[in-house]
Structure 1
Amino acid sequence: MPGHDFRPVYHPAGHDTALRGVVQDLRTGRWVSMAQLLADTTGWALWTQRTQVLAAVAAGSDVVQAWRAEEPHSVAATVMHTRVAVERAVRAHREGHARTRELWQSAWEACRDTARIAPADPVPWVCLLALAVLDEGQRMEEHRMRPPGPMLPPGPWGLLAEADKRDPHNREAYHRMLQFLYARTPGGALSGTRSGTPSGSLSEAVNFVQWAAGSAPPGSPLHVLPLYVRVERYRRERGQEKALDLHWVAEDATRDALRALLAWFDHTGPEAASLLDLNHLAHALWGALRFDDAAPVFEALGPYYTPQPWAHRTPDPGNRALAEEVFARARTRCLGAARAR
């Protein structure tokens, strides 16, 4: 319910109660609950999501290394080792660290080894997609393969196909591909990724998300992809007052938001949904002035929020408190509209 005392909560595990407990253990250096959680995890979508969150938490410690030392034959520990190696390489690249190439090579080898050890798992291929952004000149052949459709550029399509083969429409795989396209310039090289502000061609990204969403079944999170590109366009147009005024209420913006609502949200439950996807949908519907439609999305979020995309609606995108304020204001507006009906 809307209220002045409401404070949004950010937590990488969101509605995944079991994962929240494991994240807390990881932060104190304990790995046993992580091993148990992954042993109990069924379905590649949840497996991909949980290993991604766990790696982001574990990358700053040696907790996965300790697990592997205790259980050297554990496939789950090997997958997590790969996840952490990739996370560290991507962070090093983003920060322009001197060891980036070394960490990249080590992560790439870990991906290939894990793909052999766990041939049915999409995660090693998702991880290889994550590393593709580091190949700024697209020198590796696997990063400049022929695209599967018209209006799409060369890229790591073979890696995406391998992930797709194991888990069709894998959410993270397609988001990793989108990050690659954000960073890719029309000439073929990658640029702008180290600063964290990609500057590649948005038209290629638009073509990709329309292609991906167009082939996704009902309930697939790929239907939310166009909303991410719209936020990225908004970010790049900051300061162009006229463009910003019309950005969220434009006919195509409203159409993308309603399509995601009908094709994805109406077919899924909050426990299975990405917090980022829910936030992007709530944000898009609120921005399109579809307050009644946004209300059930805010209800599905409960107390949880993510700083993105709300931060881009503030004067200082780096200020999380401002993002919280925008989220809370939008939530109150939309839930109030629904209650007034």
Structure 2
Amino acid sequence: MAREGARPTYDPAGHDPALRAALQDLRTGRWMSMRGLLADTTTWWQWTQRTQVLATAAAGTDIVRAWLDEEPHSIPAVVMHARIAVERALRAHREEHGRTRELWREAWQSCAAAARASPQDPVPWVCLLALATLDREQSRPEHRVAPPEPMLPPGPWGLLAEAGKRDPFNREAYHRMLQFLYARGPAERLAEATGFAQWAADTAPPGSALHVLPLYVRVERYRRTGARDAALDLHWVAEDAGRETRQALHSWFEVTRTDERSPLDLNHLAHALWGALQFTDAARVFEALGPYWTPLPWIHRATDPGDRAQALEVFLQARARSSAARKQS
């Protein structure tokens, strides 16, 4: 539990101390802790989360290649190799690097190899969903499959279904699908993302992180349109925003444990509750965050969208306001 008023830290491991230890070893060039961590991972939720965080940290190194050279038949090493290949392709795309298409092709091949090596694993399919965001023209047939509902747009629904067969309502798979929809066009296409997020939340069971998905779309809408703080404040107290926030609170936060929650989801829920003036409930979510925070979505409240220090100040102000209201209630 964080001391009240203490400045939080950004830690991609969040409330997962075993992942934090593996990350520390990874940063010093050692892979045995990563190997042990993945061997001990027993749920697809943790497997997906841990491989994603590890790949983000390892993408600029040759650590997983060294592991794979040492243990070429290791399934976790093969999956991590695919994860890193995808991360590198996505980074190249963001930087408009000349090797993007080559890295994309290599990543696709790595994902296919991981799917063959670990047929029950949702991660290779989640990775293919991530790569789909690079195909803005939907030139590949698997990226323009008919949707499961008529109000939804064509997209990589088959890839999402494959991930869902292995891990129903996989959090990252749905976020990757949302990113694919974001990449399809300008701000007005956010209507598709809104419909998708609402559909996902409405079909998800209690305890699923997909109940938080609509809150991400609300933040993205205002990031793209450049709305000012006052407009954002009015947005969060609207009836539909309140309904989505309550759904996330009651159907996800109140029926899950700390180790089942993504810090990013907690930050989005705390932000939404604070914006909706639901300070007492927001204080509960801030308390669940403990000593951690994430720059998103707070950075979109900063005057300078890239100023993390200012984003942290917004977070601290929101936490203090919520805590004060809780003490008075």
TM-score range, shorter chain: over 0.9
From 304, 307, 332, give the equivalent of 2:295. Answer: 307
Rounded Cα–Cα distance in structure 2 between residues aligned with 1:315 and 1:268: 34
> What pairs with 1:194-233 in structure 2 (closer than 5 Å)?
199=187, 201-233=189-221
Runs of 4+ in structure 1 off by over 3 angstroms are: 1-4, 239-245
Cα RMSD for the two superposed structures: 1.3
Q: Distance in 2 between matches of 1:58 and 1:25?
A: 11
Which SS does the other structure have where 1:308 is aligned? coil
What is the alpha-carbon distance in structure 1 between the residues aligned to residue 51 and residue 285 of structure 2? Answer: 25
Answer whether contact 1:125 1:163 (CA < 8 A) is retained: yes
User: Counterparts of 1:200 and 1:88 in 2: how far apart (Å)?
Assistant: 29
CA positional deviation for 1:2: 7.1
Please state how far the C-alpha of 1:338 moved relative to its aligned partner.
1.2
2:304 matches 1:290? no
Equivalent-residue separation in structure 2 for 1:10 and 1:100 (angstroms): 29
Letter in 2 for 1:316: D
Q: Residues 291, 81 of structure 1: CA spacing in aligned structure 2 closer, same or farther, 3 A cutoff?
A: same
Q: Residues 113-124 of structure 1 correspond to what in structure 2 (within 5 A)?
A: 113-124=113-124
Deviation at 1:270, TM superposition (A): 1.4
- The aligned residue for residue 156 of structure 1 is 156
Aligned partners of 2:122, 2:310: CA distance in 1, in Å? 37
User: C-alpha displacement at 1:77, in angstroms?
Assistant: 0.3
Verify: 1:18 aligned to 2:14, yes or no: no
Give the whole-Å Cα distance in 1 for the aligned partners of 2:188 and 2:24: 37
Q: Give 2:257's aligned residue.
A: 269
Distance 1:246 1:136, change over 3 A: same
Partner of 1:322: 310
The residue aligned with 1:174 is 174
In the TM superposition, what is the alpha-carbon distance from 1:8 to its structure 2 partner? 1.4
Deviation at 1:242, TM superposition (A): 6.4
Aligned match of 2:328? 340
Give the 3-state SS of the residue equivalent to 1:201 in structure 2: helix
Taking the aligned partners of 1:34 and 1:168, their CA distance within structure 2 comes to 25
- Which amino acid counterpart does residue 122 of structure 2 have in structure 1? P
Say if 2:229 and 2:301, in contact at 8 Å, map to a contact too.
no
Amino acid at match of 1:45: W
Give the Cα separation in 1 of the matches to 2:223 and 2:138: 26
Cα deviations across residues 282-309 of structure 1 (Å, max 9, x unaligned)? 0000000000111111110001000000
1:224-252 deviation line (CA, Å, top 9, x unaligned): 00000000011123245764341121111
User: How many angstroms apart in 2 are the aligned matches of 1:282 and 1:81?
Assistant: 35
CA contact (8 A) 1:227 1:257 kept: yes
Matches of 1:224 and 1:52, distance apart in 2: 19
8 Å contact from structure 1 (residues 18, 37) kept in 2: yes
Amino acid at match of 1:117: A
SS in 1 for 2:296: helix
TM-score between both structures, scaled by the size of structure 2: 0.97
Q: 1:321 to 1:242 in 2, by over 3 A?
A: closer
Q: Distance in 2 between matches of 1:42 and 1:52?
A: 16
Q: 1:238/1:37 Cα in 2 relative to 1: closer, same or farther (>3 Å)?
A: same
TM-score (norm 1): 0.94
